[in-house]
Amino acid sequence: MKVLVVAPYISFVYGGTARVVKDLAGALGRQNTHVDIVTTNASGSNTLNVPFGQWVSEACFRVQYFSCWHRYDLVCSASMLRWLHWHISDYDVVHTHTLFSPMLSWVHRLCQSRRVPYLMTPHGMLEPWALAHKPKKKAFYFRWIEKDALTKASAIHVLTQGEADGLAAMGLNNTVLLPNGIDAQSLGCNAKPELFYRYFPEAKGKKIILFMSRIDPKKGLDLLARAFAKVRTEFPCAHLIIAGPDSVGYGVKVQRYFDEVGCLDAVTFTGMLTGELKQSALNVSSLFTLPSYSEGFSISVLEAMACGLPCVITTGCNFPEADAAGAAQVVAVDSRAIAQALINCLANWPRAKAMGDRARKLVLEHYTCDKVAVRLLATYTAILGHSGDETSQLVSDEIAN
């Protein structure tokens, strides 16, 4: 089977979506599946220094990059579209990632005209909060372009049951539910704490609360500012690390949120962390929090849980399974609820540590890329062997067996 993955970007400045594309490709490759990724060199306000017009071999898959014009997450590449015009029929299945992209809309139409089955992964971009952001533009684009592509897709890959229910309410029932997974072997939980303190000495000796995600309005940093101010009244030694790229220019406003509640001096903005420095940040932290208004299915939460960190997340993170397993504190999208959960964890460390241990076990048993790849491969097989109406049930049966 030859699978073509099409994504507007795979630079890590775009957060978990980019990670998922590459990690899943590698996991599929380990299942003896031929996987190629075509993408662009977009990287936030910058571009990746990558070769064009040739395959770049990575572990178990290949990537070909194309030059582009881009502004934030709006990406266009004429050279990539020309390549797809000539080569898309070389593949058995096409898998696209993200929505509201004119470039991907053209890809879906090309698949339809060439009779190449395609699967779409919205990555939570049809969640109510996400649709409420720039609602007029999205409503127009969804009605006249995106819904047709989704309806004609062989399957829509959703990450949570809530996402599946939301799409069903839109009349889209051709969904297959598969969560995100992480490459647990790449976490390297033995990275030395001293590495982080070498770069950020102001955090040494403090109770570190880690936020590790994009600096974006949907991530709930306005809520976290008010919550952290309350935490500091109970635990003056608490220090907040905000680790993530500011790809949409939201960082100045976030700093103002913390300044207004009087705790900016206890916050460190590290920018995006990668490699051993990222793992060191996970290792020095006492707690992890993601107070999002809306998520698809957060990779950063899975990474923190896999490292055994007690996690405080909101219902907007769409992870009720973690709550049911006692593997995370899942609270309302409310600053007071977030603050109380963080305070409770710091006040009762043995209980919080036990929750972190359960979190690690849950992720390693159910949310690794290799486990998800087996299910995704079953999805591709069902798509190739049956009509779209049958795909969801066939994949569910395959997973159950």
Which whole number is the average pLDDT over 190-204? 91
Q: Name the pLDDT band for 389 (thresholds 50, 70, 90).
A: very low
Residue 189 binned pLDDT confidence (cut-offs 50, 70, 90): low
CA distance 39 to 119: 16
Residues 167 and 195 in one domain: no
Q: What is the DSSP string of 141-172?
A: HIIIIIHHHHHHSSEEEESSHHHHHHHHHTT-
Do residues 346 and 239 share a domain? Answer: yes
391 and 356 share a domain? no
Q: Does residue 20 share a domain with residue 157?
A: yes
Q: Is the dihedral of CA 239, 244, 250, 251 positive or negative?
A: positive
End-to-end CA distance of the chain: 22
Q: Is the pLDDT of residue 62 over 80?
A: yes
Under the banding of pLDDT at 50, 70 and 90, the label for residue 386 is low
Give the pLDDT confidence of 104-160 residue by residue, as tens digits: 999 999 999 999 999 999 999 999 888 888 888 899 999 999 999 999 999 999 999
Distance CA 262, CA 199 (A): 24
CATH code at 85?
3.40.50.2000
Q: Is the pLDDT of residue 400 over 70?
A: no
Question: Does one domain contain both 206 and 271?
Answer: yes
Tally the domains of the chain.
2
CA 223 to chain centre: 20
- Domain encompassing residue 51: 2-181+369-400
Residue 265: pLDDT above 60? yes
Query: Do 211 and 354 belong to one domain?
Result: yes
Same domain, 61 and 145: yes
pLDDT at 129: 87
CA 198 to each of CA 194, 195, 203, 279: distance values in angstroms, whole numbers, following the listed order: 6, 5, 10, 14
Q: What are phi and psi of 56, to 5 degrees?
A: -110, 120
Q: pLDDT digit string (tens) for 342-368?
A: 999 999 999 999 999 999 999 999 999
Mean pLDDT of 235-249: 94
Higher pLDDT, 91 or 13: 91
Structure tokens at 59: 């572990």
Report whether pLDDT(387) > 50.
no
pLDDT in tens, 304-335: 999 999 999 999 999 999 999 999 999 999 99
140 and 7, same domain (yes or no)? yes
Together in a domain, 81 and 101:
yes
Of 394, 360, 373, the closest CA to residue 5 belongs to 373
What is the average pLDDT across 30-46? 95
Specify the pLDDT at position 188. 57
Residues 194 and 299 in one domain: yes
Q: What is the pLDDT of residue 187?
A: 66
Residue 93, classed as helix, strand or coil, is strand
Residue 398 has pLDDT above 70, yes or no: no
Q: Are 39 and 68 in contact (CB under 8 A)?
A: no
Same domain, 156 and 300: no
Confidence of residue 399 (pLDDT cuts 50, 70, 90): very low
Structure tokens at 381: 């097989």
Name residues whose C-beta falls within 8 Å of residue 174's C-beta, 6 or more positions apart in sequence: 150, 151, 153, 154, 155, 156, 388, 389, 391, 392
What average pLDDT is seen over the chain? 93
Position 192 confidence tier, pLDDT thresholds 50, 70, 90: confident
Query: Which three-class secondary structure state does DSSP give residue 83?
Result: helix
Q: Do 321 and 197 lie in a common domain?
A: yes
pTM: 0.90
Tally of CB atoms within 10 A around 90? 10
How sure is the predictor about 243, in pLDDT bands with cuts at 50, 70 and 90? very high
Write out pLDDT tens, residues 77-97: 999 999 999 999 999 999 999
Which phi and psi angles does 238 have, rounded to 5°? -70, 140
